[in-house]
Structure 1
Amino acid sequence: MQTPAFQRARSVEHKQQRRDEMLAAARDLAAAHGVRAVTMTDIANEVGVHKSGVLRYFETREAVFLELLTEGWTEWMDACVPAIYQANGNPAKVAKAIAGTLAKRPLFCDLLAHAPMNLERGVSVEAVREFKASAFRQIDRFERAVTTALPKLTKADARALISAANAFASTLWQISHPTAAVAELYRTDPHLAHAVVDFAPSLRRQTETTILGLLTRRQNG
């Protein structure tokens, strides 16, 4: 954490540095405590400024996390796309590439769940436009990789696949990482503990099932 004597950035370079520090603080806090638990005040305290200092750079708390999600999309595709190409047309390996690279990015999976629920609702329309444009560019990369690796699938199939994978990842992540109170409930009531899932294997199974279903549909016309 910075000292209370933290000075306002003046130059463009220093302003970008300050902005990056705030994003890094939000990233670390969310990774440690979950996106839902992190407030704008938490981020400000982490970098040693007043909440108003963070508001000079980000319009809302949601804007901070929407930017992290934007970065997450690019970072995921940088890992996922090469892995899909390396799958050599094997549906199970394509599923492993998609699910495996998602499972290695827990914060991204957490953020995916919050995007439609509140991140996109707590920022300006222009911020949503920029986020969507960036995400769609990454989806285009995914689409090209999938239709190359599995040529029987169409562009629409690839889009359906990434939509399903994102839904699986965001939902399964929340289920597999309950709050402390809910985790204690599962521990003390084994009858309810079946609700807990093993995130990575479940994500891979669901993704592979989706791919096989899309291929079967194309095969059957």
Structure 2
Amino acid sequence: MQTSGFQRARSAEHKQQRRDEMLDAARKLATDRGVRAVTMTDIATEVGVHKSAVLRYFETREAVFLELATEGWREWIAACVPAVHASGADPAKVARAIADTLVERPLFCDLLAHAPMNLERGVSVEAVREFKLATFGHIDRFVEAVTTVLPSLTDADAHELVSAVNAFASTLWQITHPTDAVAELYRTDPQIGHAVGEFGPNLRQQTETFILGLLARRG
């Protein structure tokens, strides 16, 4: 049930404010609990409205998080590109620039795994199209930065790199952030305890290895 103080937004400005409040709530909840654990009802409760009020602004739960994924791409690229440019032509520093700017964005890393698995499957085709077009624009900036500092790499190489880093970050994030029950299993069972690892160091190592492989292929 809606809280007694809730009033439906009427003006465009108030509607945008209400929408932003819902995104802020989803962002906070997903950061605290993980994307998988947050429901539309949770978002509504955090804002102080009925679930039906959230549905006036977002077609599904997945639409909320797909918008946060779009935001995540924008913010990561805004940080990653200057860091790559500042790294010079050192592959290890380029890898660290890419990996560290991802490590600083845990929610984005979580969203990277959910986007293809379920977010894109729970929204309209037009919403997926908008998400892809926005993402491709950010990737173009990444490609330009990488090929500038590592000129022996082609645009195709840089596209392979961002695809690989996406896969590394999304998979490693899920592996290194298990549920509490599974985390306890890792802590108490020496036979499998080594399987978790640390997110940041593993991401840096895999990113650097991939860049070195691309450079070796180019000779």
Q: Deviations over 1:108-155 (max 9, x none)?
A: 000000011000000000000000000000000000000001000000
Partner amino acid, structure 2, of 1:71: E
Q: Which residue in the other structure is 2:156 paired with? A: 156
2:34 is aligned with 1:22: no
Range with bigger deviation, 184-193 or 31-40 = 184-193
Output aligned runs, 1:44-193, within 5 Å.
Answer: 44-193=44-193
- In 2, distance between residues paired with 1:187 and 1:108? 26
Give aligned pairs, total: 218
Q: Deviations over 1:165-214 (max 9, x none)?
A: 01000000000000011011112211111111100000000000000000
Partner amino acid, structure 1, of 2:209: T
- In 2, distance between residues paired with 1:37 and 1:158? 34
> Structure 2 unaligned runs (5+)?
none
- In 1, distance between residues paired with 2:191 and 2:209? 27
- In 2, distance between residues paired with 1:176 and 1:130? 31
With over 3 angstroms needed to count, the CA separation of the structure-2 counterparts of 1:169 and 1:100, relative to structure 1, is same
Q: Which residue in the other structure is 2:6 paired with? A: 6
Alpha-carbon offset, residue 4 of structure 1: 3.4
- In 1, distance between residues paired with 2:3 and 2:206? 47
> Structure 1 unaligned runs (5+)?
none
- In 1, distance between residues paired with 2:201 and 2:194? 15
- In 2, distance between residues paired with 1:76 and 1:116? 18
TM-score (norm 2): 0.98
- In 1, distance between residues paired with 2:47 and 2:107? 20
Root-mean-square deviation (CA, aligned residues, Å) is 0.9
Q: Which residue in the other structure is 1:212 paired with? A: 212
Counterpart secondary structure, 1:127: helix
Counterpart secondary structure, 1:88: coil
- In 2, distance between residues paired with 1:74 and 1:35? 19
Do the aligned partners of 1:96 and 1:204 also contact (CA within 8 Å) in 2?
yes
- In 1, distance between residues paired with 2:183 and 2:208? 28
